[in-house]
Chain A
Amino acid sequence: MAKAKEQTQYREVSLSEFFEKNRHILGFDSPQKSLFMIVKEAFDNSLDACDEYAILPEIVVSISRVSDDIFNVTVSDNGPGIERTQVPRVFGQLLYGSRFHVIRQSRGQQGLGITAAILYGQLTTGEKARVETKRDQDDVAFRFILGINVKENKADIKTQEPFIWDRPHGTSVSITAKGRYVTGRQSTIEYLKESAVVNPHASITFVDPDGNRIHFNRNIEKAPYISKAVKPHPYGIEIGELITMAKSTSAKTLLRFLADDFSRVSDNTASEIINAAGLKAEVLPSSLNNKEISSLRESIQKAKLMPPSQESLSPIGEEFIRRGMMSIYGEERPEFYGRPVTRKASVYNGNPFSVEVGMVYGGYLPGDQPVRIIRFANKVPLLYQPGSCAITQSVFDLDWRTYGLEQKQGKGQPYGPAIILVHVYGPRLPYTSESKEAISSVEIITDEIKAAIKQEMRMLKTFGNRKDKMKKVAEKFNLFRRLIPEIASKCSLILGKDVPDINPVVSKIANVVFIHEEAIQADSGYNIRTEIFNFTRSTHKFTLKAVFGGMEDRSTDLEISDLKPAEERVFQNFVQWPGQYPGTDYYFTGIDVSKIQGAEPLPGDWDLRNSEVEQDG
């Protein structure tokens, strides 16, 4: 409510003037953070624009040093471009394109960012920004040199000229500003890297002040799902917002206002709400006084409404998270990629939101270091203020020891070889500040975050169990295939006798069909050698389903027929896999569960488990 009120006031005193005095609120406080903010605002706009038009983004970010503490930031994209006449408003006016009254999840939520960045550059260096843009349907591109007229909150255009651009469409923004270039956890490069994790459909190039180029490749050739813009849901709407909407609506009656400007409100429900509030359906919405609005709001909360539509949500998605984490963290050769978890949508203050969690575990990740939590809000990496963020607080609230990680007294910072991605998304997330660096710890949100993390971590536990199982199977394999043969050959060598046939002994100990695999690293993947041995005294026929890396979309059926006692059969498969291969899950059908080791009954075959009565010692 406070936010909405302030914003109304900004308009009255000139938003630009307000910003000049309060730029820290928007994140432009220290020189290093300001430089980061400029990149972030321009880069997020590029991604939003590309996604909106389903263009696979190609974005180049370059920072060059003008003098010791003055830098030039240029962000160029292959986005849709901006219509020439819109440029002054998009770049030169704070709060243009405000998405008030329709809600939709996007990276930049209020169209305030890029203008603030230009204004910051102007205030610190006196330099104007350079904007180049071209749409596909235009013949020429336009180059603007523009600043901001602070008093009047509008663009101050120095020059605008057409030019021939070698690209079909796109936008390039170049801002010169005071700043400090840093690397590390709260830096431009980290921001781009984490952005690359959740945007595997983007090709991102970064050129640092020393001219080093860092490239994050595109890893998926498809545009992400984009949320639809929807009207606000009336549950939990703040009173200030309701007042603003009532004042500015084009609806002529209260009934039409409720039924047309909100989602999930039918004409019938609208009249019920109005009646319950003791108001008249025909009144002009802007004529309501604060007291009437207040009783309207109360009766809205009591009305029976369908929950908000989830169409306004755009998750990163399981496939994108998996691909993104694989490509960016693959160099750590993780042993395990958790299948990303997406929660069902919940509602906070009338707005839907949801949570996604992804994880990589093991490999070269250091086991004695804090677990890395990478935080995202609406696909935007959150690098600052981890301590006050709902994500961090949820992580610290959970007992990680259950999942085999270390944590003092089951609270606070967990330690272990893991990177956990947490994405909270939805239109109008509650942030702790205007610069949107941390999500507020609202109970329903932290509950959802915790539930998502728990769901994800249970997979790690399953993985751990599977690893133990695999280790035991490997040990048995070693016993049958190496140790006992070694004992036999050593005995015969010492005694000068023939090597005895060990199969009777092995089948006495094992009496199972044994599945063993070796994964040999090859170019961009692994050669998986599946070896099947019959240590029993009978012939078997069955089917083995090999699920490579535990990914159900990568599986193959191996038909094993007429496998005679003491017979060995080998299958070879190649699996594309970045990083360390976590092993294959084998499932069987057509053989008794007590006669096979190294594979599980196919889930559809669970009833077989009950026949697990006779077990051969």
Chain B
Amino acid sequence: MVNIKTDEVLIKLVEKMYNELISGEVPELKLSSRTKDNIVFDQAMNVWKYGGSFVSRSARTTDGAQFMAKALYTIEFIMDMIKSQKSSTLREMYYISEGWKDYKFHTQDESNMLAEDLEVITTLMREDFKLRPEENGASVIGNITIEEKNRKGEFKRINCRDDVGDAGYTIPYNVENDKVKLISHDADFILAIETGGMFDRLVENGFDEDFRSVLVHLKGQPARSTRRLLKRLNNELGLPVFVFTDGDPWSFRIFGSIAYGAIKTAHISEWLAVPAAEFIGITASDIINYDLPSDKLSDKDVSALNSELQDPRFSTEFWKQEIETMLQMGKKAEQQALAKYGLDFVTEKYLPDKLSDVL
């Protein structure tokens, strides 16, 4: 739908480099620095976005020129896809780059990163580039009705409680309105759950029905589409979002990327982040209060916690205290540690207690 515009934007970018070469200027691309140090809070949007520091990729250096050449190959590939009305997964692009010889990507991270850099440079989304991620199988169970466009181009109505199996409704990579329509719901809140084991436990215990909730399985660090769907559910249906995770530094980051926006995707934070999301995952205090079975923090855990202390997104009283307590205890715990008190403890005691604090 935005093909013509994408085309134009990319051509403009190439023309800029071309014109620089013609006029004897060293070609240069500027983009926001995509690091923790360049994340600032956007008052208006209520999310964390890139700040004012830029990096320059200049043909003056081998690395910069290498980046430019790869970006040009990628742009050529994207324009070919637009012309032939095809799309590819990020993984496919990584493999296609094999044919670019000296300019191929060495890891998929590198190609993903370049696609994101192009987003940042052009302020387009990778969907505009006809690039999509793999389905990652995150899913939804709860009384909410949507319509999803199938391969035949017809919208199919699905109730995410009655029309799905135990695994729930699988979130597609595109959850925009042209693909997924939100029709109706009968629920009070959304519970986003980190692990599959806990998601299954809540499904089996009928938590969605008993507590009028929509359960969303994050599958670890949530994909863009999962975060985007949470954002739409929150925005368009007005459902509050609660995030239920393990109690370790990585889970704090999961919450951070949902509520505040991820550092890697801060250029589209306003699209993805749910600033009103609340954390009801395992905290350091829970480990003490519930006397939960725990594991020792590894060296990596400790350095992740310390880095979170430096992260502007976590510089609130709540997070400072939780992170420091965890560092002091030197311990972490999984969601499923709650099973120490029986299979129903999580649905009968833990979650009701936590929810009563925030609802």
Nearest to A479 among chain B residues (CB) is B62
Measured CB to CB, the closest approach of chain A to B18, in angstroms, equals 4
When the two chains form their complex, are residues B26 and A478 in contact, meaning their CB atoms are under 8 A apart?
no
Cβ 8 A contact of A495, one of B15, B26, B61, B73:
B15
Neighbouring B residues of A490 by C-beta, 8 Å: 69, 72-73, 76
Measured CB to CB, the closest approach of chain B to A514, in angstroms, equals 14
A497 to B14, CA, bound (A): 11
Chain A CB within 10 Å, residue with most, of B15, B65, B76: B65
Cβ 8 A contact of A505, one of B11, B21, B62:
B21
When the two chains form their complex, are residues B62 and A478 in contact, meaning their CB atoms are under 8 A apart?
yes
When the two chains form their complex, are residues B26 and A487 in contact, meaning their CB atoms are under 8 A apart?
no
Cβ 8 A contact of B65, one of A484, A492, A493, A508:
A484
Chain A CB within 10 Å, residue with most, of B14, B17, B21, B103: B21
When the two chains form their complex, are residues A479 and B27 in contact, meaning their CB atoms are under 8 A apart?
no
When the two chains form their complex, are residues A491 and B72 in contact, meaning their CB atoms are under 8 A apart?
yes
A475-B62 contact in complex given A490-B69, A494-B14, A495-B14, C-beta closer than 8 Å? yes
B344 at interface by CB-CB < 8 Å: no
Measured CB to CB, the closest approach of chain B to A172, in angstroms, equals 63
Measured CB to CB, the closest approach of chain A to B182, in angstroms, equals 39
State which residues 86-130 of B face A: CB under 8 Å.
102-103
Neighbouring B residues of A484 by C-beta, 8 Å: 59, 65
When the two chains form their complex, are residues A509 and B76 in contact, meaning their CB atoms are under 8 A apart?
no
When the two chains form their complex, are residues A500 and B22 in contact, meaning their CB atoms are under 8 A apart?
yes
State which residues 48-106 of B face A: CB under 8 Å.
59-62, 65-66, 68-69, 72-73, 75-76, 79, 102-103
A520 at interface by CB-CB < 8 Å: no
Neighbouring B residues of A502 by C-beta, 8 Å: 21
Neighbouring B residues of A486 by C-beta, 8 Å: 69, 102-103
Neighbouring A residues of B62 by C-beta, 8 Å: 475-476, 478-479, 483
A162 at interface by CB-CB < 8 Å: no
A483 to B67, CA, bound (A): 10
When the two chains form their complex, are residues B11 and A504 in contact, meaning their CB atoms are under 8 A apart?
no
A487-B17 contact in complex given A475-B62, A478-B62, C-beta closer than 8 Å? yes
A508 to B21, CA, bound (A): 11
Neighbouring B residues of A509 by C-beta, 8 Å: 26, 59-60
A495-B18 contact in complex given A487-B65, A490-B73, A505-B24, C-beta closer than 8 Å? yes
When the two chains form their complex, are residues B18 and A492 in contact, meaning their CB atoms are under 8 A apart?
yes
A482 at interface by CB-CB < 8 Å: yes
Cβ 8 A contact of A497, one of B18, B76, B103:
B18
Nearest to B25 among chain A residues (CB) is A505
Nearest to A498 among chain B residues (CB) is B22
When the two chains form their complex, are residues B24 and A494 in contact, meaning their CB atoms are under 8 A apart?
no
A488 at interface by CB-CB < 8 Å: yes
A487-B79 contact in complex given A475-B62, A495-B15, C-beta closer than 8 Å? no
When the two chains form their complex, are residues B26 and A494 in contact, meaning their CB atoms are under 8 A apart?
no
Measured CB to CB, the closest approach of chain B to A488, in angstroms, equals 6
When the two chains form their complex, are residues B26 and A505 in contact, meaning their CB atoms are under 8 A apart?
yes
A500 to B20, CA, bound (A): 10
A91 to B17, CA, bound (A): 87
A508-B24 contact in complex given A492-B18, A500-B18, C-beta closer than 8 Å? yes
When the two chains form their complex, are residues B21 and A487 in contact, meaning their CB atoms are under 8 A apart?
yes
When the two chains form their complex, are residues B24 and A504 in contact, meaning their CB atoms are under 8 A apart?
yes
Chain A residues touching B, majority SS: helix
Measured CB to CB, the closest approach of chain B to A478, in angstroms, equals 7
State which residues 1-37 of B face A: CB under 8 Å.
11, 14-15, 17-18, 20-22, 24-27
A491 to B79, CA, bound (A): 13
A299 to B75, CA, bound (A): 92
Count of chain B residues with Cβ under 8 Å from any Cβ of A?
27
A476 to B20, CA, bound (A): 20
When the two chains form their complex, are residues B27 and A495 in contact, meaning their CB atoms are under 8 A apart?
no
When the two chains form their complex, are residues B72 and A483 in contact, meaning their CB atoms are under 8 A apart?
no
When the two chains form their complex, are residues A494 and B21 in contact, meaning their CB atoms are under 8 A apart?
no
Nearest to A477 among chain B residues (CB) is B62
Chain A CB within 10 Å, residue with most, of B15, B60, B76: B60
A509 to B62, CA, bound (A): 11
A234 to B26, CA, bound (A): 76
Neighbouring A residues of B59 by C-beta, 8 Å: 479, 483-484, 487, 505, 509
Neighbouring B residues of A483 by C-beta, 8 Å: 59, 62, 65-66, 68-69
A492 to B18, CA, bound (A): 7
A168 to B274, CA, bound (A): 100
State which residues 531-570 of A face B: CB under 8 Å.
none
A505 to B64, CA, bound (A): 14
A582 to B22, CA, bound (A): 40
Cβ 8 A contact of B79, one of A494, A497, A500, A505:
A494
A318 to B4, CA, bound (A): 73
When the two chains form their complex, are residues B73 and A491 in contact, meaning their CB atoms are under 8 A apart?
no
A482-B21 contact in complex given A476-B62, A487-B59, A505-B59, C-beta closer than 8 Å? no
A483 to B60, CA, bound (A): 10
Measured CB to CB, the closest approach of chain B to A405, in angstroms, equals 29
Neighbouring A residues of B65 by C-beta, 8 Å: 479, 483-484, 487
Cβ 8 A contact of A491, one of B17, B26, B103:
B17
Neighbouring B residues of A475 by C-beta, 8 Å: 62
Contact with A along B158-193 (1 / 0, CB 8 A): 000000000000000000000000000000000000
Neighbouring A residues of B20 by C-beta, 8 Å: 505
Neighbouring B residues of A494 by C-beta, 8 Å: 11, 14, 72, 75-76, 79
Cβ 8 A contact of B11, one of A476, A488, A495:
A495
Chain B CB within 10 Å, residue with most, of A478, A492, A505, A509: A505
A487-B69 contact in complex given A493-B76, A494-B11, A509-B59, C-beta closer than 8 Å? yes
Neighbouring A residues of B68 by C-beta, 8 Å: 483, 487
Measured CB to CB, the closest approach of chain A to B99, in angstroms, equals 14
Nearest to B73 among chain A residues (CB) is A490
Neighbouring A residues of B79 by C-beta, 8 Å: 494
A486 to B66, CA, bound (A): 10
Nearest to A504 among chain B residues (CB) is B24
Measured CB to CB, the closest approach of chain B to A539, in angstroms, equals 20
Measured CB to CB, the closest approach of chain A to B57, in angstroms, equals 11
When the two chains form their complex, are residues A500 and B21 in contact, meaning their CB atoms are under 8 A apart?
yes
A491 to B19, CA, bound (A): 10
Contact with A along B320-339 (1 / 0, CB 8 A): 00000000000000000000
A119 to B76, CA, bound (A): 85
A505 to B25, CA, bound (A): 6
When the two chains form their complex, are residues A491 and B14 in contact, meaning their CB atoms are under 8 A apart?
yes
Neighbouring B residues of A488 by C-beta, 8 Å: 18, 21
Cβ 8 A contact of A487, one of B11, B15, B72, B102:
B72
Measured CB to CB, the closest approach of chain A to B9, in angstroms, equals 13
A334 to B347, CA, bound (A): 69
Neighbouring A residues of B76 by C-beta, 8 Å: 490, 493-494
Neighbouring A residues of B24 by C-beta, 8 Å: 504-505, 508
When the two chains form their complex, are residues A508 and B61 in contact, meaning their CB atoms are under 8 A apart?
no
Nearest to A482 among chain B residues (CB) is B102
A404 to B72, CA, bound (A): 40
Neighbouring B residues of A505 by C-beta, 8 Å: 20-21, 24-27, 59
A495 to B72, CA, bound (A): 11
A488 to B59, CA, bound (A): 11
A502 to B65, CA, bound (A): 13
Measured CB to CB, the closest approach of chain B to A477, in angstroms, equals 10
Footprint of A on B, CB under 8 Å?
Answer: 11, 14-15, 17-18, 20-22, 24-27, 59-62, 65-66, 68-69, 72-73, 75-76, 79, 102-103
Footprint of B on A, CB under 8 Å?
Answer: 475-476, 478-479, 482-484, 486-488, 490-495, 497, 500, 502, 504-505, 508-509
10 contacts between A and B (CB under 8 A): A476-B62, A486-B103, A487-B21, A487-B69, A494-B75, A495-B15, A500-B18, A502-B21, A505-B20, A505-B25
Closest CB pairs A-B (n = 8): A504-B24, A483-B65, A490-B72, A491-B18, A500-B21, A479-B62, A500-B22, A494-B14
Q: A482-B102, A488-B21 are in contact. List 10 more A-B contacts (CB 8 A).
A: A476-B62, A483-B69, A490-B72, A490-B73, A490-B76, A494-B76, A494-B79, A495-B15, A505-B25, A505-B27
